[in-house]
Amino acid sequence: MSFLLPAGIVSAEGNVSASYLYTLSNFAGILPVSWVSISVDESRDEAYVLPGQGVKIFNDKGMEIYSFNDAGEIPSVVDVAADNEGNIIIISNNAPTEAIIRCNYRGEPISKIELKNLPPEFSGFFPNRVFFRKGSFYFASLLSKKVIVTDREGLFKDGYDIAALLKLDEQDERNRDDSGIVGFSVDQEGNILFTMPVIAKAYVVSPDKQVRSFGSLGSRPGMFGVAGGITVDASGKFILVADTLRCVVTVFDRNFKFQTEFGFRGLGPSNLVGPMQLAVDSKNRLYVTQLRNRGVSVYQIALTS
């Protein structure tokens, strides 16, 4: 089912479009969740959703096929990712026993991943987000605005002090603390993408630590009300940003030129209410979390030229 853009809202180039497919469900119906953590296993096109303590796995048709940790055997699970061997990596931030846990495909713990050889500037680092890209883990602490890259065993390879890269330390303390990261992802080329909604900006940091940014505060197409989740489509050609306030997903090309937006506030299946986290699988299906227990909506992203 395709949906039309409202009057006056058009695709800038006609290069990309989106159509609503379904909302993640189980045999009881749509999974009624709000603003859950979500990630995708791009090699298997399965989606991982974290409602409460449990981890629910959905197939490429949007149906729940498995769940584990429903009783909270692993406490305080905040993020999950899959590596290329089918292992599930879980971050548990149950202080003071925080742990990064490698599980098998059934969610049974196999081992812990210890972060090793961290430089002094990353002392005390512990993540709340994780991505697996081309044999490396990208662990992020959104609160401290730091990202480290490790091998499969947790050995430090590289690190990003985002506050330093953006020169936030040179600003006054109030502005620095208010510039919090909300949306975060890592694309297949190792570019780090994130949003800072207070300043209405989205950022792309390359592997060689070159920083580019885009966005401005406003209610017009291509501007941000409150920027939320950020990701790229499967082709790597487009950047998608959730606008939580305007209830749309905005689409930009890699030169940050606005292309289109979709979703829009409303109660129809294709509408969105307070969209937040975004994830894309290898078939260019976009997963969007939202408010009011509307669940996780899935859209097909299509390149039209």
What class, spelled out in words, does domain 16-303 have in CATH? mainly beta
How high is the pLDDT of residue 176? 56
Q: Does pLDDT of 208 surpass 70?
A: yes
Burial class (CB in 10 A: 0-12, 13-18, 19+), 285: buried
pLDDT band at 177 (very low <50, low <70, confident <90, very high): low
pLDDT value for 144? 94
Q: For 230-282, what is each residue's pLDDT tens digit?
A: 999 999 999 999 999 999 999 999 999 999 999 999 999 999 999 999 999 99
Of the candidates 1, 24, 80, 69, the one whose C-alpha atom is nearest the C-alpha of residue 289 is 24
State the chain's maximal CA–CA distance in angstroms.
56
Instruction: Categorize the per-residue pLDDT at 304 as very low, low, confident or very high, splitting at 50, 70 and 90.
Output: confident
Looking at every residue in the chain, the average pLDDT score rounds to: 92
CA-to-CA distance for 160 and 140, rounded, in angstroms?
9
pTM of the model: 0.93
The contacts of residue 206 (CB under 8 Å, 6+ apart) are 190, 191, 212
Q: In what order do the strands lie in the sheet with 129-133?
A: 129-133, 136-141, 146-150, 156-161
